[in-house]
Every structure is written in structure tokens, then in C-alpha cells.
Chains A and B, each alone.
Chain A
Amino acid sequence: MATYNPAQSQAAEGPKTALSRRATRPYVNPYMGAILLGIVLFLSFFITGNGLGASGGMNRIIVYFEDLVAPTHIDRTPYLLEMAGGDKNALDSWVVFVGIGVVVGGAISGWANGRLKFVTDRGPNIPVRLRWVMAFVGGALMGYGARMARGCTSGQALSGGATLSVGSWVFMIAVFASAYALAYFVRKLWN
């Protein structure tokens, strides 16, 4: 059975699809990543009082377009009303700008490190199309669950974890417990 190996998967990506001629650099050591991410998270709290977030920004982008199409529907749904009711602009929130920043920052870093390429990362035994379907299904579940939990891995687990919120710690355990419980049954997807 083929096993995942970071070095291999990097090499497997053909240079033809790369948008920059930069040499692909290896990822940083996880502990270094942890320190850097911890500092970014701290600075966010320190300067603004808010933590990080991703799904919140995506939520508001969706609601913004919904408001363009069906404003009366927004005004009749309390959950949506809070974000875009009346003449409120759903995009007028800090979390949207963090979300845009994540995309920009990811792109810059990907470019600078030679990792900006059209590629579908997948396990060795799964067809590309199935990987796409699974990505969409997984994304839909993630999106739904993240809104139910009032935050995703960034907004709940990281931010709430660092500020020692009980709910966020329980949430984090739930995410990992459920992923680990299911991992064996879907091992074909990744191994």
C-alpha cells in the first residue's frame, strides 16, 4: 500500500503546471509553524481583542449575495437578519477582511515558495473526480458544522483554545474524536 510521504508528494507535482519558476521549498518545521501561528494569533488578540476567523467571513460573503437576490428573505430570517437586515451590509465586518487576508497571504506565500500550481492533492488510490466530489461533500459538512458550532477550526479551536474557553476546548475534542473515529472506514481516500 502506498503511504503518504511529504517529500514524494512535492516531487510528484509536475513543473509544467507551476506558475512561477521558483524552486519549491519545503514546509517549515511544524514547531516553527506553531510558534509563528501562535504569535499571529496573539497579535490579533493583543491589537484588536478579536481572534482569527475564516468561516465567519465566508458566511458573510454568502449572505451578502443572498441579500442582493432576496432581501426580504433575509429580513424574515433572524439568523440572517443580524448580518444583513435592512440596510446593513453583510461585508461590513472585521472577519470578512481577515478572510480576504487569508486568501491573499496564502497566495503570496504559495508564490514565494514555489507552490503556486494547479494540482489536485489526493491519496494515491483515489481518482481525481472522486477527490473533487469528496472535497465538495467534506466542505459542505465543514461549512454546516462550523456555523452550528459558531466557529471553525480558526475561530473556535485556535481562538477559543488560546483564551481558554471551555466550549472551544470541548468543540476541539469533538472535531478530532469524530475525524479519528471515521478515519479507518475511509482509509481508501487517503492511503
Chain B
Amino acid sequence: MPTFPLPLIQLFGQGGAYLIYLAIGIAFGAVLEVSGFANSPKLAAQFYFKDMTVIKVMFGAIVVAMLLILLASGIGLLDYNLVWVNPTYMWPGIVGGLIMGIGFILGGFCPGTSLVAAATLKIDGMFFVLGAFFGIFMFGETVSLFDDFWYSSYMGRFTLQDLFQVDPGVVALVVVLMALFVFWGSEQLERIFGKKDLKIEPRWRYGAAGIIVLLGITLVVMGQPTTEDKWARMQTERETQLANRAVQIDPGELFDLMRNDRLKVVMLDVRSEADFNRFHILDARHILPADVPAALTDFHMEQENTVFVVMSNDEAAATEVWKLLVAESIPNSYILGGGVNAWLDKFSSDDFKTQYALAANIQPVDDQLRYSFPESLGARYPVAAPDPGLFHELEYESKVVLEIKRGPTGGGCG
């Protein structure tokens, strides 16, 4: 399993994690300062084509970070699933962006650069920071007036590679080429409008351009790890867990988890629709194994106290889906040990067992229902939601250990 991002709180505690964020912030502030981002006329000159520092630094930084992220993910060091990708709310983003553009050209900063400007004692920076605080305050006080709009056009984790249906490496290479074109254009504009002498620009930038093109091509050739690749990397460790039955939980444990107020249990019933209609545990969600990949993004969005329990009639189909979940780093994934059959064995009454037993001449097959339901009543059998009064202090070996969620905890600017 990729080591990064690190489980910061687990490793360093809450305070340690915050110190790391503080260090990142310090580096961020220092880099903005040395790039001249505390200087409002320099930033504003961007919009008169005289000094294109803003676009060069921003676009360049995006390219460098993008290449390194995809490279780290490509070689299996970084789990891209756990990297925060700003969810898309299309229209609020556009309208907010347009308002910010006005603020940018009037005020000469954006929020981050104004903090740096104020920190270096620039008085215009301080006024901007005060203004930003005021604007932020006003937003908090007015957002309830247009809640519907603010939550509209939600598209979730939606990336350029999803939009264009191409490999991330291809997007990366196109972005690199676009950036180089923008850099070239910026230098021409600086020459024309800023009267800059391009000869004094460092020659190493050609080398840097070559390197990012090469990295882009490398990403296209290398590709990003598929679910199979990810599984292959963790196979030994995970196969051992399966063999030791460390992730197959007893129906009794599931029953207790369901009634634990501090947990959210997502039961994924991956059997055929017919079996699901015949009988399923109350609140189980029906999902065919083929549909699981499309649902992964939603699973990643679940709150951190969520436990996923996959079930089939026995275990075969559930185990395959479980492999997919762990390969895609869905936290707290388990299998219902013995499947729905074991649930029925444990919680059904003796009457039920005789009434719904398979006919004597039918040989039970692996991963098929060992009970016959003449009617498709779904979750309307009592055994679908056993009476807690009848089943308390169940004996089982408890296996669920809630892991602390790694990676992003909220919005980039949340």
C-alpha cells in the first residue's frame, strides 16, 4: 500500500500534525515572498502585460506539483485516492472567480499574497487583509440567502482526465505544452509592453522546459497504476489477512456494529438482484460487483467512522469486491464471514430453518443461498432485522478496528 500521504495524527498526534501544517505554511509564505508576491504593483502589472510573474509562478508551480504528484502516484509512493481534489461546484466557482478577479485588479492581491504583504509590513497589504476579513465575514452572513445557488452544479471529484476520458499522463503532457506556450507568450508580451530585454533571462529555463516535457512524456508512457496493479502491490499482506480470517467478521459482530451509534455501517450486498429481492439484511445496499468501481468516489466521501461490510451468499463474490475496495484504499473494509447464509443460520428461528430449508435433493453450491424463499420479501422477514432483545451479548471474536482516516480532512480552503 502506498505510504503517502502519511497518517499524520496517528504518527505525530494532533499537535504534531498541526506543526507540520505550520511548517508547510511557512515554506509557502516564504516562497510567495521571494517571488515578489507581496508587491502589489508587481502583481497588477500582470494585467497590463508588463510583468508576467504571476502567471509564470502560478502556472509553473501547478505544472511542477502536477508532474510530481502523478509521478509519485505512478511509482506507487503516493495514493492518489487520498489526495484532496477540490470538488467541482461549477457555477459558484465561476461567479466567485469573477468577483475575485474584480477584487484582484482593484486591490492588487489575493488572500494568500495579502497575508505575506501584511507580514512584510506593507500597509496596502494590511488594508487588503482587513478587507478580506470583512468580505469573508459578509459571505458567512449572507450565504443563507442563496444557499440553493451555493450548493448547485455539484459534480464531485471531477478531474480533467474524467472530463476528456483520457489517461492522466496525457492531460499532464498537454498541460505542460500549454504552460510552455503561455511562458513563451508571456515573455513576448513582457518584451513588447514591459520593454524587457529577454537576453537577460536565464538560459537554464530552456533546460527546465526540456525536463518538464520529458517528465510529461514519461507519465504518458508509464501510465497510472490500475486497480490490479494496486492489488498486486499489497497482495501478500492482504492474502495473509484473508487466510487468517482477520477481515471476515462474524454476523454477530455486524449485528452489534449496526446498533453502534458511533459508527456508520455501509453494508454492500453484492449478490444478484434476484437473491437480494428474495432476502437481504435490513438497510443493506444492493450493488453489483461491476458497479462498485463507479461508486468508489462516494465511498471515499463517507465520514471517517464508516465501516464497509461486503456480503454475498457465502464469501467468494464478497471477497472479490473486498479486494477491489482495499486496493482502492477504502478504509475499514470487511467481509461478512460466512455471508448471508451465516447470518440466516445465526439469527433465524428453528421454525424458519425448517420452513425455508433447501429441498433434500438439492446439493448446496458455493456462494448460493442455502435457504429457499418461495416469496421475494426482501428485508421483510424478521431475520432481516433481528430483535436485539433476543440476541444480546453475542459471542464472537471482534475484528473491526477503526483506522484513523489518512489524507485530506476537508476542503483546500475549507
Which residues, 56 to 93 on B, are CB-close (under 8 Å) to A? Answer: 56-66, 68-69, 72, 77-78, 82-90, 92-93
Contact of B412 among A142, A159, A187 (CB under 8 A): A159
Interface centre among A107, A172, A191 (most CB of B within 10 A): A107
**B365 adjacent to chain A (CB < 8 Å):** no
Is the pair A121, B124 in contact by a Cβ cutoff of 8 Å? Answer: yes
User: Is the interface on chain B under 10, 10 to 19, 20 to 34, or 35 or more residues?
Assistant: 35 or more
Say yes or no for B286: interface residue by CB 8 A criterion. no
Residues 96-110 of chain A, each 1 if its beta carbon lies under 8 Å from chain B, else 0: 011111111111111
The distance from the CB of B157 to the nearest CB of chain A, in whole angstroms, is: 8
**CB-defined interface of B100-133 with A at 8 Å, one 1/0 digit per residue?**
1111111111111111111111111101111111
Decide if A143 touches B411 in the complex (CB within 8 Å): no
B115, B137, B138, B159: the one contacting A165 at CB < 8 Å is B159
Interface residues of A in 85-115 (CB under 8 A from B): 93-95, 97-110, 113, 115
Supposing A48-B5, A102-B25, A106-B32 touch, asked if A9 and B41 sit within 8 A by C-beta, the answer is yes
**Residue pair A155, B6 in contact (C-beta under 8 Å):** no
A147-169 toward B: CB 8 Å interface, digit per residue (1/0)? 11111111111111111111111
Which chain A residues border B121 with CB–CB below 8 Å? 19, 110, 116-119
Tell me which residues across on chain A come within 8 A of B412, comparing CB atoms.
50-53, 56, 95, 151, 154-156, 159-160
Tell me which residues from 319 to 351 in chain B have a Cβ below 8 Å from any Cβ of chain A: none
Check B53–A30 contact: CB distance below 8 A. Answer: yes
Asked if A165 and B413 sit within 8 Å, CB to CB, the answer is no
Determine the chain B residues whose CB is within 8 A of the CB of A107 once the complex forms. Answer: 29, 119-120
- B62:A158 contact, CB within 8 angstroms: yes
Tell me whether A41 and B109 are in contact (CB under 8 A). Answer: no
A140 within 8 A of B: yes
Q: In the complex, are the beta carbons of A98 and B33 less than 8 A apart?
A: no
* Residues of chain B within 8 A of A45, CB atoms compared: 5, 65, 69, 78, 83-84
B374: CB under 8 A from chain A? no
Is A62 on the interface with B (CB-CB < 8 A)?
yes
Q: In whole Å, how far is A80's beta carbon from the nearest beta carbon of chain B?
A: 5
Interface status of A72 (Cβ within 8 A of chain B)? no
A35 and B60 form a contact (CB under 8 A): yes
- Whole-angstrom CA separation of A172 from B175 in the bound complex: 14
- Most B C-beta atoms less than 10 A away, residue of A33, A34, A136, A160: A34
Contact (Cβ within 8 A) B96 A171: yes
Which chain B residues lie closer than 8 Å to A36 at the CB level?
31, 34-35
Would you call B25 and A145 a contact (CB within 8 A)? no
Provide the bound-state CA to CA distance between A145 and B22, in Å.
25
A127 vs chain B, min Cβ distance (A): 12
Q: In the complex where A45-B83, A141-B135 touch, is A156 in contact with B29 (Cβ < 8 A)?
A: no
Residues of A with C-beta under 8 A to B68: 38-39, 42, 46
* Interface membership of chain A positions 117-150, coded 1 if the CB is closer than 8 angstroms to chain B and 0 otherwise: 1111111000000011111111111111111111
In whole angstroms, what is the CA distance A152 to B412 when docked? 9
Q: Is B18 an interface residue (CB 8 A)?
A: yes
Chain A residues, Cβ within 8 Å of B111: 54-55, 58, 139, 142-143, 146, 152-154
Given the known interface contacts A148-B95, A163-B84, the answer about A110 and B33 at a Cβ–Cβ threshold of 8 Å is yes
Q: Are B4 and A149 in contact (CB under 8 A)?
A: no
Inter-subunit contact A103/B29 (CB<8 Å): yes
Q: How far is the CA of A130 from the CA of B200 in the complex (A)?
A: 36
CB pair B99 A40 closer than 8 Å: no
Q: Chain A contacts of B41 at CB under 8 A? A: 4, 9, 121-123, 190
Complex contact A170–B127 (CB within 8 A): no
Tell me the nearest residue of chain A to B405, going by C-beta.
Answer: A49
Rounded to whole angstroms, the CA-CA distance of A50 and B168 in the bound complex is: 19
Residue B406 interfacial (CB < 8 Å) = yes
Please indicate the chain B residues that have their CB under 8 angstroms from the CB of A139 in the complex. Answer: 103, 107, 109, 111, 114, 127-135
How far, in angstroms, from A97 to B130 measured CA to CA in the complex?
A: 19
Tell me if B395 counts as interface (CB < 8 A to partner A).
Answer: no
Given contacts A55-B136, A102-B116, A178-B97, contact A137 B131 (CB under 8 A): yes
| Inter-chain contacts of B40 with A (CB < 8 A) | 121-122, 135
The complex places the Cα of A190 from the Cα of B39 at a distance, in Å, of 12
Tell me whether A156 and B413 are in contact (CB under 8 A).
yes
B20 in contact (CB, < 8 A): yes
Nearest to A167 among chain B residues (CB) is B88
**B223 contacts partner chain A, Cβ-Cβ < 8 Å:** no
Q: Knowing A42-B65, A162-B65, A166-B158 touch, does A53 contact B102 (C-beta < 8 A)? A: no
**Is A145 touching B24 in the complex (CB atoms < 8 A)?**
no
A-B contact pairs, 23 of them (CB 8 A): A4-B50, A30-B53, A31-B208, A48-B20, A49-B408, A103-B118, A103-B119, A106-B38, A131-B124, A135-B124, A139-B103, A139-B134, A142-B132, A144-B103, A144-B139, A164-B85, A166-B155, A167-B86, A171-B94, A175-B97, A177-B98, A181-B101, A187-B48
Pairs of residues from A and B, 6 with the lowest C-beta to C-beta distance, nearest first: A138-B107, A101-B25, A34-B60, A139-B131, A38-B64, A143-B135
8 additional A-B residue pairs with CB within 8 Å, beyond A9-B39, A34-B35:
A56-B412, A98-B22, A104-B26, A141-B131, A144-B103, A154-B412, A163-B83, A178-B105
